Amino acid sequence: MQMIINGEYVDASNGKVFDNVNPYTGQVICTVPSGTREDFERAAVVAKKAQKEWAEVPLYKRVDIIRKFTSIVRENLEDIARTVCEEGGKTITDARGEVECLCMVFESFAEAARHFCGNTYPLNAEARTQGDIIFTVREPLGVFVAITPFNFPMELYAHKVAPAIVTGNAVIIKAASDTPLGALKVTECLLKAGVPAGVAQYVTGSGREVGAWLAQTKNVDAVTFTGSTAVGMELMRGAANNLEHVFLELGGNDPHVFFDDCDLDLAVAEAVGGRCYNAGQTCCANKRFIVQNTIKDEFVRKLIDAIKAYRIGDPSDPQTQMGCLVSEKAAAEVEKLIEKTVQQGGELVYGGKRDGAFIEPAVILVSKDADVAKDMEIFGPVFPIIGFDTFDEAVQIANQTSYGLASGVMTNDINKAMKFAMKVQAGTCVINGSGNYRSVHQPFGGYKHSGIGREGTTHTLSEVTQEKTVAMRYTQK
């Protein structure tokens, strides 16, 4: 594959490439350019010029282009979904759903942009502005760099690119090196639909290097990033050099609390559905299972039965519920963290074996002092079970982490559920479900080290634009 800079397919300026590997078969799908600083800077200069022209295109025309884009994506849905499945190990069913989700997110932002307004302010509220009319308009920030992770290469592409483009920004997209091809195909659809060449460009290469260039360029106005907390912090430090706007969706170690008055079958279904979805590689997945000691044994028994019934295998088989992880390296990292948890006193009661890029879902009984019960995020299908006795103890364990992305609570007592929702330190709390939940409209994002900013139609349009005040002073004669 090649990058797309200024509408042209190009190799890296130094000709270097790396392999895009199918984690299920181990076969190389294609080679990927290892973009250089020179490539990146060229894209940024092109974007700077193109953005100014794009901002002059009337909103209704930008909306029409996005509608055309989603129809082109839908015509190519099967091809794009197969690519997402092959390069990421995601099941074909989930890959198809994610491409459809990308279309829905683009369409939702296009619609929201049509209702996105500035404000007018009270007339004659102060003697010094008496008679003036003060109103605001929203204008784009300029050139965005959108950096996406491997786990939701379509949905997160949409949450970054759609709001930026529809409001008149230009975007340089840098997808994860493990999953570069699906996002390239989507960028091609944007260009086919009529997005100008300099407004949507696609670069590939090492994220670490792109991060360093971002800290040095003067041609980028904002960075929107989804990925790990460590990288988010590094990006923010670099962006400070040029005062780039920074939007960060970061990691999580989300609590899922099970009180003894919950519907146990629902609880187990939510536990497994949330954790095994995308082979456990979801930012807002339930990652710590905080279970009241009175039901812990029964919960664990039913959980293991449910995991045994889960269909794990070939990602391209429509019957498969859970595929492999994104790479053998990622699976080996999960294996290492399982071992570490056991070394810290955890009791592995089910699973945890690795086979290539596959990890068998693992159930581990742990104490609330284990690393995994606090800040150690495991990005795979692992169920650390932590017992508790009282409501206050459940809240304390839920909040004993520097993360705060999402959370879930299972109980049939609505007062208890509401009390928990108010006490938990997280950007989302799902009652009678896992925190692995996302609507395009909700303000999705994290407390504490889980991020800065919110994604969703109700918030992102404000974040990707800047507000200009116009004060009209006129003579009332």
Active site residues: 160, 249, 283, 455
User: Is residue 207 part of the contact set for ligand NAP (CB under 6 A)?
Assistant: yes
Q: Kindly tell me which of 153 and 433 has the beta carbon lying closer to ligand NAP.
A: 153
> Which residue's CB is nearer to ligand NAP, number 211 or number 352?
211
CB 457 within 8 A of CB 112: yes
The 367-386 site mask, x for binding ligand NAP (CB under 6 A), equals ----------x-x-------
Least separation in angstroms between CB 207 and ligand NAP: 2
Regarding 168 and contact with ligand NAP (CB under 6 A), the answer is: no
Residue 21 contacts residue 28 (beta carbons within 8 Å): yes
Does residue 206 belong to the site contacting ligand NAP (CB under 6 A)?
A: yes
Q: Specify the residue, 198 or 446, whose C-beta has the smaller distance to ligand NAP.
A: 446
Residue among 334 and 410 whose Cβ is closer to ligand NAP? 334
- Contact between 24 and ligand NAP by CB under 6 A: the answer reads no
Tell me if 408 sits within 8 A of 255, measured CB to CB.
Answer: yes
Name the minimum Å distance from CB 455 to ligand NAP. Answer: 7
Residues 404-443 that bind ligand NAP (CB under 6 A): 405
Residue 33 sits in the site that holds ligand NAP (CB under 6 A): no
Sequence-ordered list of residues with C-beta below 8 angstroms from that of 407, at least 6 positions apart, any chain:
254, 255, 256, 257, 398, 424, 426, 428, 429, 430, 435
Between residues 142 and 232, which has the closer beta carbon with respect to ligand NAP? Answer: 232
Q: Could you say whether residue 25 binds ligand NAP (CB under 6 A)? A: no
Least distance between ligand NAP and beta carbon 138 (Å): 24
In a 3-state reduction of DSSP, which class is residue 160?
helix
> Under the criterion CB under 6 A, does residue 93 sit at the interface with ligand NAP?
no
Binding status of residue 176 toward ligand NAP by CB under 6 A: yes
Distance of CA 409 to the CA centre of its chain: 22
Query: Distance between CA 68 and CA 64 in Å, rounded?
Result: 6
Min dist CB 261 to ligand NAP, Å, is 31
| 3-state DSSP helix/strand/coil % of the chain, to nearest 5 | 40, 20, 35
Give the span between the Cα atoms of 317 and 301, in whole angstroms.
Answer: 29
CA distance 435 to 432: 10
- Range in contact with ligand NAP (rule: CB under 6 A) among 7-15, 81-89, 229-237, 417-425: 229-237
Decide: 206 and 177 in contact? Cβ < 8 Å: yes
Residue in 214, 60, 146 with CA at minimum distance from that of residue 464: 146
Give the N- to C-terminal CA distance of the chain in Å, as an integer.
67
CA nearest to 352, candidates 271, 435, 280: 280
Which is nearer to ligand NAP, 147 or 410 (by Cβ)?
147
User: Phi/psi at 129 (nearest 5 deg)?
Assistant: -115, 15
The contact mask relative to ligand NAP for 275-294 (x = CB under 6 A, - = no) is: --------x-----------
Binding residues (CB under 6 A) for ligand NAP: these are 147-151, 174, 176-178, 206-208, 210-211, 226-228, 231, 234-235, 249-252, 283, 377, 379, 405, 446, 451
